[in-house]
Amino acid sequence: MTAVTLTVNGTERSLDVEPRTLLVHALRDDLGLTGTNVGCDSSSCGACTVLVDGQSAKSCTMFAVQADGADITTIEGVADADGTLHPMQQAFHEHHALQCGYCTPGMVMASISLVEEYPGLDENGVRHGLEGNLCRCTGYQNIVDAVLAAAGSGGD
């Protein structure tokens, strides 16, 4: 077992993991943060997307030990403490950008990172920017509209 220290949603967490433990499983199984989902085993679907030091990353493609010392933000950490949704979450709600909701945490995290990294994206840019996150329910149109709206309204 290897000791790992992560700052997760602003709180420092220490845990002992097998060196081969994926970051997503450390978050889910060791820290109980089950909002981050696992949808595949080939880094294709993006359901596990979190922010690592502010940049989106598929947490199934990293070992927890690789994240030692990193600042991690998961879906549980983006709304305000009083429950006010993050502007991207709010945009997803207002545009009906989710149905079953399984891809949603990863999609929201990827979208937050996308509009922060590339402000002013047009529709085509959003569509290609989210290529690594699959959704089976929505046909993406409302997701794209939500991301464009959040970007336009200053949603970071």
Tell me how far, at minimum, the Cβ of 110 lies from other proteins, in Å.
11
Confirm or reject binding of residue 111 to other proteins (CB under 8 A): no
∠14-28-47 over CA atoms, to 5°? Answer: 130
Kindly tell me which of 69 and 120 has the beta carbon lying closer to other proteins.
120
- Whether 60 and 22 have beta carbons less than 8 Å apart is answered as yes
Q: What DSSP string describes 10-59?
A: TEEEEEEE-TT-BHHHIIIIIT--TTS----SSS-S-TTEEEETTEEEET
Which is nearest to 58 in space by CA: 144, 115, 4, 133?
Answer: 133
Residues between 113 and 132 that touch other proteins (CB under 8 A): 123, 126-128, 130-132
How many residues of this chain bind other proteins (CB under 8 A)?
58
Confirm or reject binding of residue 89 to other proteins (CB under 8 A): yes
Confirm or reject binding of residue 2 to other proteins (CB under 8 A): no
Residues between 54 and 73 that touch other proteins (CB under 8 A): none
Confirm or reject binding of residue 32 to other proteins (CB under 8 A): yes
